[in-house]
Each structure stands twice: as C-alpha cells, then as structure tokens.
Structure 1
Amino acid sequence: MATTFAVIYTYTDDTELRDATRPAHRDYLREFVDSGSLLVAGAWAPAEAPGGLLIFRAEDKSAVQAIVDKDPFTTSGVVSAADIREWAPPLGPVAGALTGQA
C-alpha cells in the first residue's frame, strides 16, 4: 500500500545553476506526475529561504530517496539538503486522499 511522503528541499544560493537546471528537473518530475506518484511540487515563495516541497505517494521511503537521488536538482548540486518524511495528515479536504482513506 502506498504511503504519503513530504520531501523538503533546501537549495543552495546558486540561482544561475538553479535556473539552468530547472527545465531538466521539471522534465524529470513529470514522469512521476504522469505515473501518479508525485501529487504536487513547487518552490517556496520568493520571500522564503530557497527550497521547495514535493508530496509523493510511494511504497516506502527508499523509493522516494531513489527519486530524489536521481533528480537533476540533486545531481547538479542545486539541492543542499533533502528531508524526506512520512506524512499522515488527519485533517483537511484532501487528507483522506493523501492517507489512502478516501
């Protein structure tokens, strides 16, 4: 059974590298959107520290780690840290869908 995972990316301050790598990063993530395993992803707002949030449905944390490890943002050095956490939100209009209870 699939579990929900939140991935919190912290980016380096190298905005040129980030901008140059973004198309490959998005192309890479599209395959996981198309397969249904990536539910949503996006960067923090400009006023926040550089980084982003990705929400995955996967069998286990190691499957998400494998995706993160091959992300062009990771392999090129845009991501300075990736925190992967199992997430089970109990409240809200999409909580049931995220926890497999819907």
Structure 2
Amino acid sequence: MARYVVHLAFDGDPRRLAARPAHRDHLRRLKEEGRLVTAGPWADDSGALHVYEVADEAEVREILRRDPYTEVNGYEIVLLKEWITIM
C-alpha cells in the first residue's frame, strides 16, 4: 500500500456546495473501507487536503473520478503526490 496526498482547490460554483452531502458520504465510505486516512477543508474553504492509503496513483484517480464533486467540476487538483510518512 502507498499513501497519497491530494490538495484540492475549490472554485465558487454553488453546485459544489449542493454536492457536499454526497461528497462527504463518499469520503465516509472510503474511510470505512480503510482507503482514506483523513480529509478536510482548509479553514477558509478555499480547498481541501485528502490523504489516501491505496495501491497506486491509478486508484486515487479512480476515487476522485467517482467523487460527487468531480461530477460538478467543483475542484482543481493542485497536488497529487505519493507521500512517505516516517511517523
């Protein structure tokens, strides 16, 4: 398994806010499955940080493809990078 960090930037489109409940359900399922380590928005709601525990980058991209925020083009990927934790 590998850990990936995803930094997302949000736009001001109100469709993203409408999709928020479904987005959070999606994240909750990933957390229950053990594929999401943690996730949350920046305090100013300009974006979010997600940390995934998955097989590879392709799996992260598939997770993002299925996210309800993707359906409404509610974010831009600023960073998607494998992260090696030491603690």
Same fold (TM over 0.5): yes
- Aligned identity (percent) is 32
> Where has structure 1 moved over 3 Å in runs of 4 or more?
none
- For structure 2, the 5+ residue unaligned runs are none
Counterparts of 1:81 and 1:61 in 2: how far apart (Å)? Answer: 13
SS in 1 for 2:8: strand
2:34 to 33, 36, 39: 36
The 1:7/1:44 distance shift into structure 2, 3 A limit, reads same
2-structure distance, mates of 1:9, 1:56: 13
The structure that has the greater radius of gyration is: 1
Which one of the candidate residues 69, 84, 92 is aligned to 2:80?
Answer: 84
8 A contact 1:65–1:84 mirrored in 2: no
Looking at both structures, which has the greater relative contact order when contacts are Cα pairs under 8 Å and sequence separation is at least 6? 2
Match of 2:7 in 1: 8
Contact 1:5-1:85 within 8 A present in 2 as well: yes
Give 1:83 shift. Answer: 2.6
Considering fraction of residues, name the structure with more strand.
Answer: 2
What is the root-mean-square deviation of aligned Cα atoms in Å? 1.4
Match of 1:31, as an amino acid? R
SS of 1:77's equivalent?
A: coil
- Tell me the matched-pair count: 87
> 1:64 and 1:77 mapped to 2: Cα distance?
17
Q: TM-score, normalised by structure 1?
A: 0.78
The one-letter code sitting in structure 2 at the alignment partner of 1:11 is F
Contact 2:6–2:77 under 8 Å retained in 1: no
